[in-house]
Structure 1
Amino acid sequence: MADNHIRPAIAVRGLRRSYGDKVVLDGIDLTVAEGTIFSLLGPNGAGKTTMVQILSTLIRADGGEIRVAGHDPAREPDAVRAAIGLTGQFSAVDKLLTGEENLRLMADLHHLGRREGSRRATELLERFDLVEARGKLAGTYSGGMQRRLDLAMTLVGAPRVIFLDEPTSGLDPRSRRGLWQIIRELVAGGVTIFLTTQYLEEADQLADRIALLDQGRVVAEGTPDELKRRIPGGHVSLRFTDPDELDLAARTLTAAGGALAADGRDDESLVLQVPHDGAVHSLRALLARLDDASVEVDSLTVHTPDLDDVFLALTGKSRMTDETAQTGETARTDETTMEAVR
């Protein structure tokens, strides 16, 4: 049973921010539970990075109530900074220092002391599989290694809340999945993750809850599955080996009050598409209806909307894909460039 006395890691009410006449955040309400991964999605220029900047004390909001780790970023910035870590879009790694020297530098900035700083650096090098590269210049690291070091540097101060602003941008699929595993392990240890990403698959894989930001407003929020269920278009594709079976299935489902998906009958490939919500009980009912009519189905495939469909339906913007993110089509028009400030 959930403990109702546990305070949220992040609580935002009525958050507003403008740049001149341009309203970037227009009355945002968000709550992020402790020990979870919360992902903020949205088109380029929607205000995602501005949100991270405000929550991490880099800039001030124009209005609204904000609490991060129980503190107000405007009135108690030092308390917020002591509780958080930030890994920005651009690595804060000093490429002229070794991996170990980067970590020791962060330990010095956190006033850990020589012995504790050395212990913490060694612990993080082991945790992020960087022991063999500890004495090599960070500039010689691969992209995946640099991002792991960047995140390790964020963890030197043992933050309770970590902001990850597009942490895997530009990484190859193997490195990206390796970083996903590290993020999951952090959350299993009680850390809260606030994630912005251009990769819809990333949010789908990692996030406990997702908020979709568009034109400065939250247009949808929920678990990945809840968001997908809001979008029509789910269906079951039934494949047959005989045209007569296809015809019998179509008549049976229509007579039972069902409906076929738009352009849902393909007589050439012997496929019938039936609108479906993806629920197991609905699938059982569909198959039982066909079985009662002695319809022989050769195979079936369940198609459910993904976050791409959610994004397109709720924002009306172009599809966000790995390809567009990696080809540099991520320039922001209304958000200031964020330095990777710790």
Structure 2
Amino acid sequence: MSDAYPHIARARFLLHIGPPKTGTTSLQELVLPRIDGLVYLGKPWFNPDVPYDKCVNLHRAVDSVTKAPLGHFDADMARRAVEDWLTHSPAFAAASGRPLCLLSEERLTLSDVVSQVEIAARLSQVFPGAHAVYVRREPVAALLSLYKWLYARAWIHDSFSRWIDKALRPGSTSTGAVGLRYYDWAALKRGYGAHFPMHHAEMGDMHRDVHRFMADYLGEAGPLAEAGAALLAETRHTVLNVSRNRAVSELHRGVKLAIRGWNKLPFSKLDEKPEYLGEGPMWDRLEAPLRRLPLGQGKFRVTDQDRERIARYYAERGN
């Protein structure tokens, strides 16, 4: 492979596999692109220093790792996309020795088409010798954050307790059942550990100890970790891609539903972003009067029974 893909052979790859609601967006937008000396491949979608078509091809290649059905994954196409991206990356060209190249894509934990073992096997073909990292969060807090995110996008309508109840039913394919698998650390290590050395960082350290978090996240201490820790300390109070409370969730939810209703009419279609509708001055002004309202928080409440059932689910799976 080294002759056909010299840049891949030279690189050291770190694959950040998520999972969702573990601070991934904050790292992707506020920290990783700004660490000098780190070759950040992106989420991937767009890196302003690399030609757009190379970013699109890389995005499609990484997407195919989780979305291509069994027998349809083209490993050589994916390798060519990575090699081409590195060839056109100024950061990679400027680096000496074996630069650390980091890919962050939380969909790599989503086994809706193929298993995590298959995803890991495909990644090992594209990124030989890579290490994998995940950010670990207490599962109940992670599930509640995921629930609020889905609720604000109007993808679910239940209370948290009802959402969990559906998720825990045998054979469930609900969004909650998918969410439970995200934070099954034992399964994550079994799936990826067969193909990669793995390590993790604790999400709580993003606020408690930024130096420890970045060293754990990158898997090494040194200048890259120190630079990342400084950026994390600077931005750790910035809230991205979260719903502040029920009232804010209902605002985003209402706009989402209105867009979907409009798009059923025979007029020009409005773009519906898959994330929250937006951040910035306009949304800050719209959300500001709603952030202090306690209205309807019961729908987001986690009961003791919820906690016990979630703990039992993970204990039965070796966590």
Q: What TM-score range do you get, normalising by the shorter chain?
A: under 0.3
TM-score scaled by length of structure 2: 0.26
More helix by share: 2
**Larger Rg, first or second structure (1 or 2):** 1
Q: Larger strand proportion, structure 1 or 2?
A: 1
